[in-house]
Amino acid sequence: MLYSMLLFMQGLILGLIVVASNPSPYFAALGLVVVSGMGCGVMVTCGGTFLSLILFLIYLGGMLVVFAYSSALASERYPETWGSPRVALNSGAYVVGVLMGVGYFWGGWFGGPGGGVGGEGEFSFSRGDLSGVALMYSSGGGMLVVGAWVLLLTLFVVLELVRGASRGALRAV
């Protein structure tokens, strides 16, 4: 379990470096998908299986919308790739920064990834993440509906702002 947590954490850090160092929206969106997958993998190894699944599905839906808007607005003929000198220099600087941070904090790290969500006992009848979902739908149902309406309103506002002078969201900039 410790090796899978280490693998997910390294993928998370490398995905964050890809997002931070790449100016092209195509490759940055791919990096964000990798980051979301690795972050949900970290949550699975800590015990939050249902929460990580829901977070992954919601995040990928949001990333689909962001990728569609960014690729429609930033139509580059030749986007910068990971092999470009500027992107490689930025990535190298971020890797050196991460290694310096690891070297600085190396002596203060103790223990493993922790007990997780279901660590109460071996014969537990309920999990912590599932009872939180039930509480959200029972007591927080009104706030869930208000949040859905706010997200729908935000979508319409973004569509109106992106529209610009021409009719429609897909236009040449």
Rounded CA separation 25/13 (Å): 19
Could you tell me where the DSSP H helices lie in the chain? 2-21, 25-46, 49-73, 85-105, 128-138, 141-163
Average pLDDT of the chain? 75
Q: What is the mean pLDDT of residues 9-38?
A: 83
For the chain, which residues make up each domain, given as ranges? 1-74+85-99, 127-167
Rounded CA separation 107/48 (Å): 29
pLDDT tens digits for 50-67? 778 888 888 777 777 777
Cβ neighbours of residue 111 closer than 8 Å, sequence gap 6 or more: none
pLDDT tens digits for 66-121? 777 766 666 667 777 777 888 889 889 999 999 998 888 777 665 555 555 455 55
Residue 32 has pLDDT above 70, yes or no: yes
Long-range contacts of the stretch 149-154 (C-beta < 8 A, 24+): none
Find out whether 32 and 61 touch, Cβ atoms under 8 Å. no
Residue 135 has pLDDT above 80, yes or no: no
Residue 170 DSSP symbol:
-
